[in-house]
Every structure is written in structure tokens, then in C-alpha cells.
Structure 1
Amino acid sequence: MLWVKAFHILFVVSWFSGLFYLPRIFVNLALEKESVSRERLLLMARKLYRFMMMLSVPAVLLGAWLLWLQYGGSGSFKMPGWMHAKLTLVILAIGYSHACGAILKKFERGANTRSHTWYRWFNEVPVLMLLAIIILVVVKPF
């Protein structure tokens, strides 16, 4: 179980590093008017999004395996409240990842209508999600 947990943490950290940086590229794209720089940023964003989404798959699968090892083996699957809250945040993180993909497509089409300030705030969401997840897992407040 410890090996599964170690690799789960590795893939979660890797996935979230993409979630931290991709919206920062969106900030720069919202500010950028020059087409050469814009194309370079779009290329970076596309590659990062693809890489980030590939990393999210083993993170989620290993997390599901850990969940099964911890709570599913007995057949009852009764989980504490903090785990329900954590899983809700994980689902939100998956949704945030897909929202980043939708935003990237808007930038590719030249259809972005949001300001760099909006993306600066959007950039803070995964930090708050990860902070809450870590607190839930370590402190287990309920």
C-alpha cells in the first residue's frame, strides 16, 4: 500500500504543477497581442495541458486503488466525512482541469473575452483546492 501511496503522491504533485502553471500562461495570453509570442504561448499551453492530463489519469487511478485498499476490502465501503470532502475536491480538480482545456480552445480560436485579472484569480483556485485536500488528509478534521 505504501508504494501505491508514494506513486499517487508523485502523480498528484505532477498534475497539480500543471494546474498551477497553465492558468499563468492564460494570464500571459490575455495580455499578449503580438502573434509570434502568442503562438509560442499557445504551443506551451497545448503541450502542458496534454502532459498535465496524462499525469492526472494515474493520479486518479492510484487514488481509487488506495480508496479500495482502505475502505473497499471489507465490502462496506464506509468512509469518514473528511474523505467525502476530499473526493468532492478531487472531482472539482478534475473539472478545473477540463475547464482549462475549454479555455485553451477559446484562446486557440481567438475567442477569449476575459481579462488577465480574471485569469490571475482563476490561477489561485488549484492552490486553494490543494491546500484544502492536504489539510483534510493530514488533519482529518471530521
Structure 2
Amino acid sequence: MEYNHIKAIHIIFVTSWFAGLFYLPRLFVYHTEANNKPEAERIILQNEYKRMQKVLFNAIMIPAMWLTVLSGITMIYWTWWDSFASHSWLHLKLAFIVGLIIYHFYCRKLILELRKDHFRFTGFQLRLYNEIATIFLFAIVFLVVLKNAIDWIWGIVGLVLFAVIIMTAVRIVKSTREKK
């Protein structure tokens, strides 16, 4: 296999992993907000969300994470190993990957809590939690494309401002609906 084959595999599994990282917290939101439904509907919905969370995590996210990590390690080994120390952007990217893996397994912890009907967070808090994966994605992509350990900060600042605007809009819409 050539380097570009491994790179293509890496991109495919990064995409699969992030799809799961974006969708799973949204399932947490729906699962939590199902508490506001009548009992019969709530039981059906929550059982279905438990099943969906388990399948998504075990069948998609775990394999995608491992294949992302293995293909990434292979690329580092094949191309940059000799000059690894000189790539500060790569060191920072790897730090973000460690953070992303921690986020991934914290999602697993939330799955186990929700499976036991332990609702520690509100739907709104879980919507905010859902944005953490987006911040990781922005930081990692900016680092990989720009290959600069400083320029990614501007991308994150823009993302945070965008997130603040979106969450403010969500709160305004929510309060408008509640008034009606």
C-alpha cells in the first residue's frame, strides 16, 4: 500500500468517526428531552434511543476511532518519523486527538448513565456539549491544512463566536415559543 492509500483510509474513517461524534450527543439530547413526554411514549422513545446509542457507538464509532488512529500512526511512521521533532503543528494535532479520544470515551460514560436512566444534564447542556466535537474538528483541520501551530487559534475564535451567536439565537427562539 502506498502513503496515499493510507491517507484516503484515514480521511474516510475520520469522517465516519466524526459523524458518530456529532450524532451521538444529539441522541443524548433527544433521549433526555423524551422525559417530557407522556409515560407510554417516553418509555418507547427512551428504549429506542438506548438501542441507537449502543449501535452507533459500538458498530461505527469504536471501529472508526481505531482505524483513524492506526492509519494516522502509519502515516506518521512512513513519512515524518525522521523529522517528527520539527513538526510542532503535528504535536499539537496529536494533543487534540488525545482530547478527542477523551471526549469519545466520555460519550461512552454518558451512554452508560442514560442506560440507567440517570439524567445529569439538561437538553440545552447536551446541545452545548455537542459543540465540543465541532471545536476539535476546526482545530484539527486548521492545523493539518495550515501546518501552523498558531493560525488555528483564529479558526477557533471564529467558531466560538459563531457558537455564541447560534446558542443565543436558540435561546431567543426557545423563549419566544414558551411565551406563545
Residue type of the alignment partner of 1:61:
L
In the TM superposition, residue 79 of structure 1 has moved relative to its aligned partner by 3.9
Q: More helix by proportion, 1 or 2? A: 2
Tell me: higher relative CO, structure 1 or 2? Use CA pairs within 8 A at least 6 residues apart. Answer: 1
Paired residue type of 1:40: E
Shift in Å, 1:70: 1.8
Q: Which of 110, 113, 130 matches 2:117? A: 110
Q: Deviations over 1:48-84 (max 9, x none)?
A: 0112111111110000000111222x3x642411111
Q: 2:66 aligns with which of 52, 57, 70?
A: 57
Runs of 5+ consecutive residues of structure 1 not aligned to the other structure: none
Distance (whole Å) between structure 2 residues aligned to residue 80 and residue 101 of structure 1: 32
Counterparts of 1:1-142 in structure 2 under 5 Å?
1-33=3-35, 34-50=42-58, 51-72=60-81, 74=82, 77-142=84-149
**1:38 maps to amino acid:** Q
Q: CA separation in 2, counterparts of 1:54 and 1:11?
A: 8
Paired-residue identity, %:
31
- TM-score, normalization: structure 1? 0.94
- Cα gap change, 1:97/1:62 in structure 2, threshold over 3 Å: closer, same or farther? same
How far apart, in 1, do the equivalents of 2:94 and 2:56 lie? 25
SS at match of 1:42: helix
Q: RMSD across aligned C-alpha pairs, in angstroms?
A: 1.1
Q: Distance in 2 between matches of 1:69 and 1:17?
A: 27
Contact 1:71–1:79 (Cα < 8 Å) also in 2: no
TM-score by length of 2: 0.75
Q: Distance in 1 between matches of 2:78 and 2:139?
A: 23
The number of residue pairs the alignment matches comes to 140
Deviation at 1:11, TM superposition (A): 0.5
| Structure 2: gaps spanning 5 or more residues | 36-41, 150-180
Q: Which runs of 4+ in 1 moved over 6 A?
A: none
Alignment partners' CA distance in 2, 1:114 and 1:127: 19
CA distance, structure 2, for counterparts of residue 55 and residue 6 of structure 1: 13
Per-residue CA distance 1:15-59 (angstroms, 9 max, x = gap): 010000000000011101211111011111110011211111111
